[in-house]
Structure 1
Amino acid sequence: MSSSWYRDDTAPPPPLAGEGWGEGVSTSDNPQEERTLSRIASDDAMRPPPQAGEVKTARGQMSRVLRAPLLLALALAATPAHAFIAYVSNEKSNTVSVIDTDSWTVTKTIKVGQRPRGIEFTRDGKFVMVAVGDDDTIQVIDVKTQAVMDSLPSGPDPELFAQDAAGKTLYVANENDNTVTVIDLEKRARLGDIQVGVEPEGMTISPDGKTLINTSETTNMAHFIDTTSRQIVANVLVDARPRFAEFKHDSSELWVSSEIGGTVSVIDPRKHEVIGKVTFEIPGLRKEAIQPVGIGMTRDDKTAFVALGPANRIAVVDVATRKVTKYLLVGQRVWHMAFTPDEKYLLTTNGVSNDVSVIDVAAQKVIKTIQVGELPWGITIAP
């Protein structure tokens, strides 16, 4: 295995003469556009010359000039949008399902190690990392071959992880030894461990890259870790069994879900204080059945989506008021979620029903259900 799996700086060779349109020189990055222009040029070349006495009017000439861009626009409008690719970790079947978001179908099932959970693309989009807890490692999937091609060292029972903005450092929560492992992604080397609370799980990094957050399920805390010194600088007590942490994009708030507490704590990251809570109430459901886990926040920081586990619902929350505005019924035991890069859709993993729900973000409506492997847990979508 080459040591440069994470960074591929090789450039493609230049086109050969005669390839593409116009003597090997491409005039467009869009193949559909090139084919359309080529067809229009061919049609004009094959048209017979005007008969003697036939007058080419200015209108006729203008018609041919205007026809090309019109045909091009129609052709491109009929071309399907670029599909985003989602990868779903299936905890029980030890697989990763690959979903095409144009067809909303599973196009590939990748065999991985034992008990895959946390999953995320590398920053360059060339690889997918997945935490395989029972194998005590992070496996690396090559997106081109859609196969496992390497592994990274972690501690025992890795669950969730976070990487810095540059994609050079990975921080892994190891549930069984109460540590966060620090990994150099370029060297694929373990740099050290940070001691945290009991059963660490949730992991996120502040938008400025200076603060790493880890939540410990049994200690019921959010640990604030300085990424330079790798030392804990603050511990914030939250409700029982914190599972997930998410910063607002402007860094002004940190949201932490508490599965057993049934709340989301809103923390001021500068003061290290809980400044508010999001609570949930669903008619006909016992409070104990409402268990917040995954959180997804829109880029404008106006709307948050919260997975409510065995309540089988996604809560839509107004971030400013911290009030639930709507509940969306999804599959059974909804756990984690991911937006498509254009933020048109939100995909959720539903562990007990073994499927993924597709939510239209603007309409706030479930539009599709996709069957995947057994006990889907985490999800990541190509950047």
Structure 2
Amino acid sequence: MIALLPPLIVAASACVSTACFAETIYVSNERGDSVSVIDAATLKSLDTWKIGARPRGIVLSRDGRFLFVCVGNDHAVQMIDRATGKVVADLPSGEDPEQLFPSRDGKVLFVANEDNAAVTAIDIATRSVAFQVPVGKEPEGVAQSPDGRSLVVTSEDDNAVSWIDLPSRKVIATIETEQRPRHVEFTADGKQLWIAAETGGVVQVVDTANHAVIETLHFAPPGVKDYQVLPCGIRFTPDGKTAVIALGRANMVALVDVATRKVRAYVPVGKRVWHLAISADGARAYTANGVSDDVTVVDLGAARAVGTIAAGAGPWGVVIAP
């Protein structure tokens, strides 16, 4: 472990029973055209499901029954029954879907289409396109605000984020970012939006009330060159106190105190960490490591890696189900 400050105190980390980790981890393998299924209690692989070509973004349906996975080379979102591991539908997503977000009410999937500069809303019940909204070039990250009224979509090529008013289905604001914004994440109260600008090497914090950047977070992991710091995935712990940020070719995640926006620790993980997920109790993070073809288990209380699990070729996204 490489830490700047003493380890974070997370009450859930005191749990020693495997019952605390009775969850299932699903990992999309971009080069393997598959989803790895991992038991969080034993940290063992349970299965590998073959799916469409170039899977990246992966989410769980709000009712927990299905996984939705962007299969970019097939220009679709595949709907997978968790009980059987079978693809039950190919949903129309637009060209080259990369990331997606299930609406707060569970009725719609919002999908960023990298090749046709749009975000597509898919009606899950009818398995059809509900509407599309044009955005900037090479959209990737997408997220809905906690109040359900807004959708934000990153544009990698334009170095911008589009702010969409969902009732009117129109872009109401566009904010400039540092280079190649890859991921966006709202705080639970909806007051801030955190943007990972990959090539810019920073995370920008936006005040959602006025769409203004209020702070830019820089990272300096010991022994890592600046060009290797490529922020991508961001997740907040359930208590909202810590942001866990994947730093790409730095092969580390940063643990950031949300209140002070200061880095509390850097934790070494596998090679080329893309995205991550956090357990429901906030005790662990699981990282998808795209070059080392594995998942690192991070104890957030101790701020250290406690395990490595083999995945498929090119792990990209991670989601956790109870």
TM-score range with shorter-chain normalisation?
A: over 0.9
Q: Which residue pairs with 1:92 in the alignment?
A: 31
* Equivalent of residue 204 in structure 1, options 140, 143, 147: 143
In the TM superposition, residue 314 of structure 1 has moved relative to its aligned partner by 0.3
Structure 2 partner of 1:218: 157
The SS at the match of 2:222 is coil
Instruction: For CA contacts below 8 A with separation 6 or more, give which structure has more relative contact order.
Output: 2
Report the alpha carbon displacement of residue 120 of structure 1 after superposing the two structures with TM: 0.6
Structure 2: gaps (5+ residues): 1-15
**Partner residue of 2:63 out of 124, 131, 140:** 124
State the Cα RMSD in Å: 1.4
Give the superposition deviation at 1:79. 8.5
Partner of 1:331: 270
Q: Is contact 2:238-2:281 (8 Å) kept?
A: no
CA distance in 1, matches of 2:153, 2:306: 34
Amino acid at match of 1:128: L
Of the candidates 77, 93, 107, which is equivalent to residue 154 of structure 1?
93
2:179 counterpart of 1:240: yes
Instruction: State how far apart, in whole Å, the 1-side matches of 2:223 and 2:40 are.
Output: 34
Q: CA–CA distance in 2 between the matches of 1:79 and 1:300?
A: 21
Shift of residue 270, structure 1, vs aligned partner: 1.0
Q: Which runs of 5+ in 1 are unaligned?
A: 1-76
2:104: which partner in 1?
A: 165
Q: CA deviation at 1:284?
A: 2.6
Structure 1 residue 349 corresponds to structure 2 residue 267 = no
Give secondary structure in 2 for the equivalent of 1:288.
Answer: helix
Q: Which moved more, 1:315-324 or 1:302-311?
A: 315-324
Identity, % of aligned positions: 46
2:193 to 231, 254, 261: 254
**2:222 aligned partner:** 283
Distance 1:282 1:341 in 2: 27
2-structure distance, mates of 1:348, 1:78: 22
Q: Deviations over 1:192-241 (max 9, x none)?
A: 21100000000111111111010010111111111111111111111000
When you count helix as a share of all residues, which structure comes out higher?
Answer: 1
Contact residue 276 and residue 286 of structure 2 kept, 8 A: yes
Change (3 A) 1:79 1:317: closer
Following superposition, the deviation at residue 82 of structure 1 comes to: 6.3
Q: Quick one: distance in 2 between partners of 1:282 and 1:364?
A: 14
Given that residues 249 and 301 in structure 1 are in contact (C-alpha distance below 8 angstroms), is that contact kept between their aligned partners in structure 2? yes
The alignment partner of 2:115 has SS state of: coil
Distance 1:204 1:375 in 2: 24
> Is the aligned partner of 1:306 residue 2:245?
yes
User: Aligned AA for 2:146?
Assistant: P
- Separation in structure 2 between the aligned mates of residue 206 and residue 324 of structure 1, nearest angstrom: 25
Task: Give the deviation of 1:283 after TM superposition.
Answer: 3.0
Cα gap change, 1:271/1:99 in structure 2, threshold over 3 Å: closer, same or farther? same
Secondary structure in 1 matching 2:319:
strand
Asked whether the 8 Å contact 1:93–1:373 carries over to 2, the reply is yes
* CA radius of gyration, larger in: 1
Give the direction of change, closer, same or farther, for the CA distance of 1:304–1:79 in structure 2 (3 Å limit): closer
Query: What TM-score, normalized to structure 2?
Result: 0.93
Q: What's the offset of the Cα at 1:303?
A: 1.0
Instruction: Decide whether the 8 Å contact of 2:59 with 2:102 is kept in 1.
Output: no
Of the three residues 181, 184, 192, the one matched with 2:120 is 181
Q: What residue is the counterpart of 1:13 in the other structure?
A: none
Post-superposition CA distance 1:34-80 (Å, at most 9, x none): xxxxxxxxxxxxxxxxxxxxxxxxxxxxxxxxxxxxxxxxxxx9894
Aligned residue identity for 2:165: D
Return the structure number with greater strand share. Answer: 2
Q: Deviations over 1:67-116 (max 9, x none)?
A: xxxxxxxxxx9894562011100000101000011110110100000000
TM-score (norm 1): 0.78
**2:246 maps to 1:295:** no
Paired amino acid for 2:206: I
Equivalent pair of 1:277/1:322 in contact (CA under 8 Å): no
